[in-house]
């Protein structure tokens, strides 16, 4: 059904294109040409200007061949995490892997390739379909910035699928947490560490006392918290005046997300104040959680498509966010599908070639079933 040679060659082509977050112009121009060659009308929005990038999101449309059918959205992101420059993919034993000096970039170029192949197949085989909206986003790896700043007036799909989850084709992410970013600045008082340490108030020690009291790690089955970055101090002979702490909270429940965020904020402020210091707290809402139930069309069609191919659906919750979080927030029910990527965000990243084929096959089956909601 799908063209194996074409899929592999296109995947190798795309992973060789450098596309770090905020610098997706090169791959966007290639993808725009490919989409137009298939017959889609492509619009680039202005998200790049809003986030300091050199490119916006691509929103394309394939017209319906039917008089009445739901509008289906298919999405993947164009950017990759570093190191992603001069990627040299190695093909051995039906696996494509990184050379070890960079990531491979299957996250998310495997998603891009499967969407392109599915569009070609339905066209070549004259498969009836409703309108298909294609959304290729920028800056997903930078905190879903492309999806956050997308021109929402261009979106009108009834439901859709994001192609951006690790795990084998057949995996469906039906719920994912929301996330808050926490930035704490803690201020003490500088002094010479050898001559007059008693005149100082060590901001790093203040931070340590506060951090020792906050909840951390897995709070419960729905909620997690993490401190990821600490910066402070200028020299070992100076009592540090300031320290900055970056962390995050996540939860599948919006109320719990708010509660754990407020609890950590309150502990930091209280402990620092009790010891004579001062603090500034900034909370940035990154995205909301979403949950899709099995009676929703987006889930029912994906499950039936997977079973029709002889696979067993693997329906799971995710601990991380994706563009699906924002698309669901915008009122377009979207599930995140497994595309076969493994050990993503590392130089050991790889993908089985058969999973590239299987993801494209699944998309064709989803497109085939969508007009009839089967």
Predicted confidence (pLDDT) per residue in 273-298, tens digit: 999 999 999 999 999 999 999 999 99
Calculate the alpha carbon distances from 137 to 32, 158, 276, 283, 338 in Å: 12, 19, 46, 25, 18
CATH of the domain at 139: 3.40.630.10
Q: How far apart are CA 142 and CA 51, in angstroms?
A: 10
Domain boundary among 247, 269, 287: 287
Task: Report the pLDDT value the prediction gives residue 71, as an integer from 0 to 100.
Answer: 98
User: What's the pLDDT tens digit per position in 290-328?
Assistant: 999 999 999 999 999 999 999 999 999 999 999 999 999
Statement to judge: residues 130 and 163 lie in one domain: yes
> Do residues 185 and 154 both lie within one domain?
no
The average confidence (pLDDT) of the chain is 97
Its pTM stands at 0.92
Instruction: Let me know if 140 is a catalytic residue.
Output: yes
261 and 133 housed in the same domain: no
The structure tokens 């050379």 sit at 99
**Do 160 and 13 belong to one domain?**
yes
Asked whether residue 144 falls in the same domain as residue 58, the answer is: yes
Q: Pick the catalytic residue: 108, 140, 179, 349?
A: 140
Domain shared by 72 and 158, yes or no:
yes
Is 219 a residue whose pLDDT tops 90? Answer: yes
| Residue 190 sits in the same domain as residue 101 | no
Q: Do 107 and 149 sit in the same domain of this protein?
A: yes
The answer to whether residues 331 and 270 belong to one domain is no
Domain range for 190: 178-287
Residues paired with residue 320 on neighbouring β-strands, in sequence order: none
Both 281 and 294 in one domain: the answer is no
Among 10, 44, 79, 269, the active-site one is 79
Q: Over the stretch 4-33, which tens digit does the pLDDT of each residue have?
A: 999 999 999 999 999 999 999 999 999 999
355 noted as active-site residue? no
CATH number of domain containing 246 = 3.30.70.360
Q: How far apart are CA 314 and CA 234, in angstroms?
A: 50
pLDDT category at 374 given cuts 50, 70, 90 is: confident
Question: Residue 112 — pLDDT band, cuts 50, 70, 90?
Answer: very high
């Amino acid at each position: 059904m799908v063209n194996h040679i074409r899929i592999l060659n296109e995947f190798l082509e795309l992973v060789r294109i450098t596309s770090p977050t905020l610098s997706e112009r090169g791959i966007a121009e290639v993808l725009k040409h490919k989409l137009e060659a298939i017959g889609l009308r492509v619009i680039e929005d202005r998200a790049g200007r809003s986030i300091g990038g050199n490119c916006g999101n691509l929103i394309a449309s394939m017209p319906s061949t039917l008089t009445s059918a739901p509008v289906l959205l298919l999405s993947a992101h164009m950017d990759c995490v570093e190191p992603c420059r001069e990627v040299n993919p190695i093909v051995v034993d039906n696996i494509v892997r990184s050379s070890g000096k960079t990531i491979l970039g299957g996250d998310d170029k495997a998603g891009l390739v499967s969407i392109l192949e599915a569009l070609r197949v339905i066209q070549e085989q004259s498969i009836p379909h409703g309108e298909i909206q294609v959304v290729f986003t920028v800056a997903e790896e930078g905190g879903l910035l492309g999806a956050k700043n997308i021109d929402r007036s261009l979106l009108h799909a009834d439901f859709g699928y994001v192609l951006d989850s690790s795990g084998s084709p057949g995996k469906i992410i039906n719920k994912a947490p929301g996330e808050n970013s926490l930035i704490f600045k803690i201020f003490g008082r500088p002094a010479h560490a050898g001559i007059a340490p008693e005149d100082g108030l060590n901001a790093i020690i203040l931070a340590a006392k506060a951090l020792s009291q906050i909840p951390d790690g897995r709070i419960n089955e729905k909620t997690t918290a993490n401190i990821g970055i600490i910066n402070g101090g200028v020299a070992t002979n100076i009592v540090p005046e300031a320290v900055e702490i970056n962390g995050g909270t996540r939860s599948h429940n919006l109320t719990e997300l708010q509660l754990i965020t407020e609890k950590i904020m309150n502990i930091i402020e209280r402990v620092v104040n009790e010891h004579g210091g001062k603090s500034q707290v900034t909370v940035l809402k990154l995205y909301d959680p979403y949950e899709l139930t099995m009676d929703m069309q987006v889930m029912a069609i994906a499950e039936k498509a997977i079973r029709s191919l002889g696979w067993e659906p693997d329906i799971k919750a995710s601990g991380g966010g994706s563009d699906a979080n924002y698309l669901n927030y915008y009122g377009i029910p979207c599930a995140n599908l497994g595309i076969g990527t493994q050990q993503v965000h590392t130089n050991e990243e790889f993908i089985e070639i058969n999973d590239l084929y299987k993801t494209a096959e699944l998309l064709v089956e989803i497109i085939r079933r969508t007009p009839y909601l089967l």
